Chain A
Amino acid sequence: MAKIIGIDLGTTYSEVAITEAGVPRILENAEGMRITPSTVAISKSGERLVGLLAKRQAITNPKNTIFSVKRLIGRKFTDIEVQHDKKWLPYDIRESSTGGVEVKMGDLPAGQAGTWYKPEEISAMVLAKLKADAEAKLGEKVEEAVITVPAYFDDSQRQATKNAGEIAGLKVKRILNEPTAAALAYGLNRQKNEKIVVYDFGGGTFDVSVLEVGDDTVEVKATGGDTHLGGDDFDKRVIEYLVGEYKKTDGVDLAKDALALQRLKEAAERAKHELSGAFETEINLPYITSDASGPRHFLLKLTRAKLEELVRDLIDRSVQILGKTVKEAGLDVSAINEIILVGGQTRMPAMQEAVKKYFGKEPHKNLNPDEVVAIGAAAQAGILQGEVKDVLLLDVTPLSLGIETLGGVMTRIIEKNTTVPTAKSQVFSTAADNQPSVEIHVLQGERPMATDNKTLARFILDGIPPASRGTPQVEVTFDIDANGILSVSAKDKATNRSQSIKIEASTSLTKEQIEKLKAEAAQYAEEDRKKKDLAEAKNNAEQLVYASEKAVKDAGEKIPAETKDTITKKIEALKTVKDGQDANAIKNAANELSAEIQKIGAAVYGKNEPKSS
């Protein structure tokens, strides 16, 4: 069965995602980008361009480059919004015979007259590209889609969007509200009776939606926003500031130089992005312009505080709209359970802070805010496809599983949150010379020391042939089947002797018990680290003592008596501290011994040298 794709058909950019193995992911377009400009053009040579390529020629072909068509789709020509947008959109817009809107594209320099298109035909061109690119990426036909629209879209706008899909050759399985998609992306549709606010600050539009999750539905309680407020306004503020500062310091008006202005625009966007992570950034544009005195350079430091000052009123305005919308939903701020941030501009810390302050709650922001709507559309597509049905719900191991190793340390074999069924093995060895058997102590938990974790089972593998420590190879395998039953086996690779045990109750802990164990692990992290550190120091010391004694014995008379004497003393020193509780003392003694021990090598090889040459 072919995949259903999820499409976020945005005002300025669009994205496509699919659900694979239950997990939604964004598909890259033919140009290798995760976002596609919602732009269509007829180039001056008469070629139809969609997406990035259309955008690349927009500046010199504004009359024949259509963007922001989402602002017009499904609307009447007489709508206030259309009349307003008509003023600033650079392409021709007229009333259609049915009272709708039409846009013109394809006026060519050679004299051909352009063609009038309905907005849904333009959107269809964008959708057709998204479909074709998705097909190329997936290597199979795509025939069905879920397309998102703003929550405030009326029937006519929804129908027109659906038609756009059909024109593009897509069967539109569902027209999904953008905020609902965002809630789906975060899996909040499963939280019954929750009230969710979606704060969507895009490039050119700002939308607020209040949702209520019912039994099987997500209801939109209220919507609000400003269709002409977005991240682009932030860029404009930064550019204006940069131009103003340069005028002050260098007396040149960069606003008059179109190319300089373009470079400033790119730099402003970049600076804005950088200031979400850093507190200060440098805008450095050598050769920004030139005048009679020669080339001019642009260099300015922009701080996060300055950026925030420049756009403070815009953020405040969005919070005001937010408050109004929550009130319209008939809700108190305290009644809101979850807040979701959507749109690239919400990466700005000051904006996150403003929303957090308003609700007194941390908003959801883990997912990429540019992609969250497309991810949600793909999740919806997955549900429609039966992909996310709970039929094949695979479990995970809630806690780590492992065995006790030298020094009472728990060595993890299967990490927590591993999807089952699964099997993993690791090879261990003996701790002492001629050790005839090993004890396998099966543990569950997150603490580093064996004693702090839960014992699931113990068994012994014997019959290991005599050998020096570290030589035998015992392979320990953990296998958890789909029902959560754990089998542990240990096999001596030399003799193929093996022992195993089945543990039925490995995942039978209650949710509370699991949480308690995890909390304990976090609480004791520091103390545990010290314990583990000590155990490791002791292990190392023991190995070093063993190796040193062996080396001294093996070297025999090849080393001078005084070196031998010092080493023996150092060995004794390490032996006295190694059973104590001071990890540092053990480490120091061990370091001293290892420095000394190297002299054996030097002595042995030093003597051999003349012979070998």
Chain B
Amino acid sequence: MLEEEYLNGWKRAKADLINYQKDEAKRFEDVVRFSNAVIIKDLLAVLDSFASFEKNLAQPKQDAVGFLAIQSQMQDILKNHGLEKIKVTVGENFNPQFHESVGEAESELPVGVIVEEVTGGYLLNGLVIRPTKVKLSKSK
């Protein structure tokens, strides 16, 4: 009886180890792939600020050209590291896989569709690291 218990325990431990190794290998792959995710996530705040800067620019002024160049330089670097902006168009249906609703706004559009992108959302290597914050339409 005890013998059987030992044998089963051993088989289980063995199987667990093999499974663990497989899992660990996959986890390691993920770690390598997403090792930059933490810092890139933090850097999204800077991208947001650049976006706000651009949005608040009355018209392209000569002295803003430098800043806009820095913005695109930053975007470029992050793009090379697998960052991709989630594209959102006004009138598009809300999808919580990619969007987070932060408010509503009156509009002529059908109720519940996206009327405004508030803060950009991003994918890193195909996975959502931050959903796009959007406002949804409500009836007037």
Q: Which residues of A contact B (CB under 8 A)?
A: 20-22, 31-32, 43-45, 49, 53-54, 56-57, 59-61, 109, 258-259, 262, 286-287, 290, 294-295, 386-387, 389, 391-392
Contact = CB atoms under 8 A, between A and B. Distances in A.
A487 B100 CA distance: 62
B103 A259 contact: yes
Nearest to B22: A139
A258 B49 contact: no
B20 A56 contact: no
A258 B103 contact: yes
Contacts of B49: 286-287
Given A20-B19, A109-B112, A295 B56 contact: yes
Nearest to A389: B9
B96 A44 contact: no
Contact of B101 (A60, A294, A295): A60
13 contacts: A20-B20, A21-B13, A21-B20, A22-B13, A44-B94, A45-B112, A49-B96, A57-B100, A60-B102, A286-B49, A287-B56, A391-B6, A392-B9
Nearest to A41: B96
A294 B10 CA distance: 71
Contact of A262 (B5, B12, B56, B102): B102
Contacts of B78: none
A611 B93 CA distance: 77
Given A54-B96, A56-B96, A391-B5, A286 B19 contact: no
B53 interface: yes
Interface in B1-34: 5-6, 9-10, 12-13, 16-17, 19-20
A56 B114 CA distance: 14
Contacts of A43: 94, 96
A112 B19 CA distance: 48
Given A57-B96, A59-B102, A44 B112 contact: yes
Nearest to A290: B56
A31 B111 CA distance: 28
Contacts of B99: 56
A366 to B, nearest CB: 21
Given A43-B96, A259-B118, A21 B17 contact: yes
A54 B101 CA distance: 11
A109 B139 CA distance: 10
B10 A392 contact: yes
Contact of A392 (B13, B94, B118): B13
B104 interface: yes
A56 B100 contact: yes
Given A54-B96, A391-B5, 4 more contacts: A31-B128, A389-B5, A391-B9, A392-B10
Nearest to B12: A387
Contacts of B55: 287
B64 interface: no
A286 B96 contact: no
A259 B5 contact: no
A492 B26 CA distance: 39
Interface string B28-66: 000000000000000000000100110110000000000
Contacts of B131: 56
Nearest to B100: A56
B74 interface: no
A387 B104 CA distance: 52
B83 interface: no
Interface string B86-125: 0000000110110111111000000110000010000000
B127 interface: yes
Nearest to B19: A20
B75 to A, nearest CB: 17
Contacts of A290: 56
A295 B52 contact: yes
A32 B102 CA distance: 23
Nearest to B46: A286
B81 to A, nearest CB: 18
A45 B101 CA distance: 14
A22 B14 CA distance: 12
A20 B101 contact: no
B136 A60 contact: yes
A287 B102 contact: no
A57 B101 contact: yes
A32 B101 CA distance: 21
Nearest to A286: B49
B129 to A, nearest CB: 9
B16 A21 contact: yes
B9 A56 contact: no
B104 A287 contact: no
Contacts of B12: 387
Contacts of B94: 43-45, 57
Contacts of A57: 94, 96, 100-101
